[in-house]
Chain A
């Protein structure tokens, strides 16, 4: 780890949040307790276990026991602003900031000890926060050495963090700190919060996107229901606030039955949505281009293929929930947003008050896998609580609220064309894709809001113009669209469709899932055309040693069967990608069996994320990514028709069940000499592609439209 010189920006999130005491606080023991170190990241735990990994980093850099680290949940009043917890960047942003901050805190305290003991720093050693002179003599703890205001200053990053051979905890599979409470059912989520005098609320949403409230038939009858404290009505935003949750459920049902709506919703039919999207207003962007006319001229055969991916739901197991309270005209909100600071920007607009008067705390929710209803429900709770000042309100979405209103991962279309020369090398490659934006997260746009209730208020806020995520920042729909292989000619075209018939936003891995599905299944088609084994074919086009290593490791562990033809019902396939073309490397080998439905029986994943902070954490995230991607690939598509989203229950949106889950085996390649990278989104694309390739191997034909349902497979076979 090299020293940062004075002129370069501070590492990770220190660059925008340089104050050391924003990150690290030495907290002296209260009677009967122990001295601790408070660590305040701005990144939130969304079930990915980031808190534990960050605690490991802090404990190692400070030389204290892990038990002394107290991780604090982020809040807009006390945490560094790290914007969004997304894109698998927490280890790179927060982890590196904490490493440098802790190294500097430790060095500062050692300096203090050296002065106090009258020895040089080199003669000091630290053991669990106690600094002592080597060979005996004086000692003092960090908490005794610390002085008020000592860390109320900007970091300099002049103190190098430890090198891998000095790590004690980094690189080991420390058990997650939160799991004992979770498996024993202790309150763990915002859903479980209970504040004194807390009321319960539910929203009553319009029946579809463009429906607006016309009237309520006998509103007084709803108001007279037992336990009803307030009926909140602001334009088409409706909520009931009751003494108990059961009363809120009943009141919401009654209100729903009495609300009349003007509905002008017109969606395209689901069967033609991909063609429809292509006809909508759009801009065209060339996101990657490479030309070598001489090489292109050697093309002997050209192949093309077209792919589609449907809208996919985040489908969190716990519908979104928030708690809010207004005191003296100022709201305080607890929610499971992935970005409490950006959320606050939009809350300020919708509540029409200064940002500084709003406090937002992060509290854990169920896994979100991207931008679901977590931000929307925060505004809902704030609007409901505003009607009952001084009383906390817990507002929980119902399952159908989440399925109807969450912003889905967008539908995409992709067309690929490639030419092979006489030796079976790819000499020309074109990737053209069509999609809406992959992010409508709050906070970034100067006008309007992406928060749902904001559109429904009597004085509504407009929807902002959608924004493209630049490819330099990892890209959105074009994430992983630029091939990782060495092609002499390539062109990547992105049709950014600005009109959004269906509400969309970020879903784990964004465009990478569809792009990798297309690229990697097309690579197999080309390998087939060239008469070369798919693993060998990939390696011939790939120089990057780290990429080659994951492909070889996955093939090896899986017992790669080469080009052995399928037997009509079973097959094995491979998929590979480096997430965002710059983060974790992952290759997956899948085995499938075509029974009544397509089943995935086994997946072997090889993953490399640089220095592995917590190896088991990476394996857990990779297993989860594989299984979730199996579900996306085999089963998932949000149902809708011209009148609206037709997704209310788990019957409408089946996901993979326990008895359908493949055996999953993860090979982790640790590279302690390389920087640590997030790993939560690396496996999705490769898994989907491996399944598509295994299916083609099994039945001899390609299915290019996701999901791979039995109807689609049957159609491909005739």
Chain B
């Protein structure tokens, strides 16, 4: 494959990259756009560490060719908030101390974002189902679920 120049819309900004169009979005985000929040865990769509939102839906960025994403709206964890001004979901993860190593967390926050956008007050079972494709080896699950519940309450109260 020869390299092509693609225009992507990432976190609200137009970004131009030159790459083999078959390259998985994950590598373009991490290496070309210096967005390190999506992480490589398996490269096979099995762990969720690389999850970003495309047109509001969670997508495993390790598993999607960059060429398919031209013209679509990509949001990464960096598009939510910063350590100084975290998004309410991120704040809820901080408040619940919902991380051990944290490697899985950014992908989980993105799926949680998509969940809460579609379903502002999910039940525990709905949260579990929405995060089913995410693996966490540290066993942080219980806290993560509590953090999503806390965020749901905070976001609803703010509405």
Contact = CB atoms under 8 A, between A and B. Distances in A.
Does A associate with B in a complex? yes
B103 A189 contact: yes
A460 interface: no
A484 interface: no
Interface of B: 19-20, 23-24, 27, 30-31, 34-44, 46-47, 49, 76-78, 80-83, 86, 90, 93-94, 97-106, 109, 125, 127-129, 131-132, 134-145
A664 B41 contact: no
Contact of A179 (B42, B97, B103): B97
Contacts of A364: 101
Contact of A180 (B39, B86, B131, B141): B86
Nearest to B48: A317
A184 B138 contact: no
B41 A317 contact: yes
A398 B41 CA distance: 8
Interface string A239-271: 000001110010000000000000000000000
A366 B101 contact: yes
A561 interface: no
29 contacts: A176-B97, A179-B93, A179-B99, A181-B83, A182-B102, A183-B99, A183-B106, A183-B109, A184-B37, A184-B82, A185-B36, A185-B106, A187-B36, A191-B40, A192-B36, A244-B27, A318-B40, A367-B100, A367-B103, A399-B46, A624-B140, A627-B139, A628-B138, A650-B42, A650-B44, A650-B47, A656-B139, A656-B141, A657-B132
A165 interface: no
Interface stretch (A44-52, A88-96, A212-220, A272-280): A44-52
Contact of A183 (B38, B76, B94): B94
Contacts of B40: 191, 318-319, 396
Given A183-B102, A366-B103, A396-B40, A175 B97 contact: yes
A399 B45 CA distance: 11
Contacts of A369: 137
Given A657-B135, A663-B142, A184 B78 contact: yes
Interface of A: 46-49, 173, 175-176, 178-189, 191-192, 194, 200, 244-246, 249, 315-319, 364-367, 369, 396, 398-399, 616, 620-621, 623-628, 631, 649-651, 655-659, 661, 663-664
Contact of B142 (A182, A649, A651, A661): A661
Contact of B100 (A189, A624, A658, A663): A624
A289 B56 CA distance: 64
Contacts of A365: 101, 103
A245 B31 contact: yes
- Interface of A, secondary structure class, is loop
Contact of B139 (A188, A318, A626): A626
**Best-surrounded residue of A46, A181, A319, A650 (most CB of chain B within 10 A):** A650
A471 B144 CA distance: 37
B43 A399 contact: yes
Nearest to B131: A658
B35 A185 contact: yes
Contact of B94 (A179, A657, A663): A179
A398 B99 contact: no
A384 B131 CA distance: 37
Given A183-B94, A658-B141, A317 B36 contact: no
Given A186-B83, A244-B31, A650-B135, A623 B142 contact: yes
Contacts of A188: 36, 102
Contacts of B42: 399, 649-650
Contacts of A651: 46
Contacts of B139: 623-628, 631, 656
Contacts of A187: 36
B64 to A, nearest CB: 13
A315 B82 contact: no
A684 to B, nearest CB: 10
